[in-house]
Amino acid sequence: MSIFALVDCNNFYASCERVFNPSLLGKPIVVLSNNDGCVIARSNEAKELGIPMGAPYYQHKSFIQKNNVKVFSSNYQFYGDMSQRVMKSLSMMLPNQDVEVYSIDEAFLRLDGFVMRDLFDWALGVRNNVLQWTGIPTSIGIAPTKTLSKIANHVAKKQTQNGVFDLRDTDLQEYIMADLPVEELWGISRRWGKKLRSIGISTALQLKNTDPKFIQKKLSVVVERMVYELQGLSCLNLEKQVAKKSIMSSKSFGTLLKELEPIEQALSTYTVRACEKLRQQGSKAKGLQIFLQTNPFRVDQHQYRNSLKFEFDLPTSDTAIIIRVAKTLLRQIYKYGYYYHKCGIMLFNLVSEEYQQGHFFTSQDSSRDSLMRSIDIINKSMGRETIFYAAQGVKQDWKMRRNNLSPRYTTNWEELAKVY
C-alpha cells in the first residue's frame, strides 16, 4: 500500500523573515516582488486584513502603512538557503531519501516503509524537528496518493491546530471531498474547472465518482490519472530531480536604462548566475540566447525588443567565455535612443560536463574547469560575489529596487545575526 505525505512550509517567505527577527511574530507581513512591485507573499495576519495576493504595492501602500504591516523586499538568496535547510532536515528523517522537492516550500515524502508506525505521531515529530532545526513552521498531509495528500495538507493548514492531518480513511476522504470545489484540486486549471462544471462536475467527490475513461475522452489522460488518484490508486510516484535542458537568468532593471554600459553590466551579472546554476547541475551549454527589451507597459515610449542566438563549437561552462559572447551579441542588437527595461540570457542544449567530443579546429583548456569550480567554492563559502568579474561593474546602479531588503542572515558573512 502506498503512503505519501506532503510537507508544506507555512507562509514560507514571511516565516523566513521571522526566524531571525522574533519581534515579527504575530505581526502582519507582506513580501514584494522584483523592484518592490507587487505583493507575492503574506502572513496570516496580512491575509486577515484583506491585502490581496498580487496587489500592486503602490496602490495599497497607504493601507499597509496605516495598519503597521511589515514590508520586505524579496530576499531570494536567503529564502533559497532556508529552503535547502528544510529539505535537508526532511531527508535526514527518511532512511531511503524518499523525498521529492516539489517547490521552494513543498516536498512530497514516500512513507511506505513506515506503515507499522503511528504516522500521525511520526508526522508531529517531523514537524517539531523542522521547526526546532530551522525555525520554519510546516503543515503535513498524509494520504494514499499524492493528489489526496495535497487535499490532506490543505485541511492540515486550514482546519487543524497541530498542523497534521491523516486522510487515509476512505469515509473521511469522501466527507472532505464533498465540499471541495473541483477548481481547488492540485493541477486543475481554471479552463479545466470550467469544462468539468459544464459536464456537471463541480466537486472533488463528483470527479472521483466519474468514470475515468469518460474523463479521458472529455478532457485528458492527466485528469484521468487524477480520478484514479482521488479513488486511492497511486498513479504519481516521487519524481527525482533531473538536470534542466535550459537555464534562464533575467530581471527587470531598477530603473530604465539608455546607455549600453550598465546594460552590459546587468547582462554579465545574469550570465554569472546562469553559469553557476549550469555547473551546479554538472552541465555545459552548447548554445546561448540573449534578449533585450523596453517596457511594453510604457505606451508613452517607443518600443523595441530583440534577441540573438549563438552556438559554441564545443560545450562550455566557462563564465568568462560566455560573458564575452553574450556582450558581443548584445552590442549587435542594442540600439541607442530607447529606454530599456529588461535583458536576460538563456543557456540551451545542455549536456553533461562529462560529454566529450573532439573538434578539428578548437580545443578546451581543462584547467579552466578547475578554475570555475574554485571560484564557485569560494563564493559559496565566503558569500556571493566574493570573487566577481569586472564586466559586472562595481556600482551597479541598474540593480532592481529592494528598498525593504532584510539581511541575508545565512549566506553573507557581513549580515550574520548579531547576539549581544
> Is 106 a known active-site residue?
yes
- Other Cβ atoms closer than 10 A to 62: 9
Return the CATH number of the domain spanning residue range 4-9+79-230: 3.30.70.270
Among residues 17, 106, 224, 276, the one annotated as catalytic is 106
Give residue 361's pLDDT: 59
136/269 Cα distance (integer angstroms): 31
Measured CA to CA, the distance from residue 84 to residue 123 in angstroms comes to 20
Lowest mean pLDDT among 135-149, 179-193, 361-375: 361-375
pLDDT value at residue 416: 83
Which of 167-171, 316-320, 391-395 comes out lowest in average pLDDT? 391-395
Interatomic CA distance for residues 15 and 174, integer angstroms: 33
pLDDT score, position 358: 63
Domain boundaries, the chain: 4-9+79-230, 12-74, 247-392
How confident is the model at residue 114, as a pLDDT?
78
Helix (H) or strand (E) run with residue 51 in it: none
pLDDT at 347: 97
pLDDT value of residue 344: 96
pLDDT at position 359, please?
59
Least confident of 74-78, 206-210, 343-347: 74-78
User: Is there a contact between 319 and 269 (Cβ–Cβ < 8 Å)?
Assistant: no
pLDDT of residue 400: 81
Write the class of the CATH domain 247-392.
alpha beta
- Give the β-pairing of 247-257 and 138-143: unpaired
Which pLDDT value is given to residue 17? 96
Angle between helical axes of 366-382 and 260-280 (0-180°, round to 10): 100
Q: Which helix (H) or strand (E) holds 259?
A: none
What mean pLDDT comes out for the span 85-113? 90
pLDDT of residue 383 exceeding 80, the answer is no
Q: Is residue 402 pLDDT above 90, yes or no?
A: no
Burial 190-214 (b: 16+ CB within 10 A, else e): eebbeebeeeebebbbbbbebebee
Q: Are the C-beta atoms of residues 350 and 285 closer than 8 Å to each other?
A: yes
Grid cell digits, residue 364? 578546451
Instruction: Report the phi/psi class of residue 187: left, alpha or beta, with left for phi > 0 and alpha for psi in -120 to 50.
Output: left
Q: What is the DSSP letter of 145?
A: S
Task: Decide if pLDDT at 242 tops 80.
Answer: no
The string of pLDDT tens digits covering residues 15-36 is 999 999 999 999 999 999 988 9
Average pLDDT over residues 145-153: 97
CATH of domain 12-74: 3.40.1170.60
Residue pair 91/99 in contact by the 8 Å Cβ criterion = yes
C-alpha closest to that of 130 among 163, 102, 157, 97: 163
| Residue 215 to residue 227: CA distance in whole angstroms | 8
Q: Give 94's contacts (C-beta < 8 A, 6+ positions apart).
A: 109, 110
Q: For the chain, what percent of residues have pLDDT higher than 90?
A: 75
The residue-averaged pLDDT of 171-190 equals 94
Q: What is the pLDDT of residue 363?
A: 66
Q: What average pLDDT does the segment 304-317 reach?
A: 95
Q: Taking CA 38 as the corner, what is the angle to CA 154 and CA 337, rounded to the nearest 5 degrees? A: 145
The model's pTM: 0.82
Confidence of residue 66 (pLDDT cuts 50, 70, 90): very high
What pLDDT, in 10s, does the model give residues 354-368?
866 665 556 677 788
Q: How confident is the model at residue 97 (pLDDT cuts 50, 70, 90)?
A: low
- Of 209, 153, 211, nearest in space to 182 by CA: 209
State phi, psi for 211 to the nearest 5 degrees: -60, 120
Closest residue by Cα to residue 94 from 108, 105, 73, 76 = 108
Mean of the per-residue pLDDT values for the chain?
A: 92
Alpha carbon dihedral 83, 87, 92, 97, in 10-degree steps, equals -160
In percent, the amount of the chain with pLDDT more than 70 equals 97
Return the minimum-mean-pLDDT range out of 95-104, 150-159, 182-191, 226-235. 95-104
Condensed to tens digits (0 to 9), the pLDDT of residues 244-266 reads 899 999 999 989 999 999 999 99
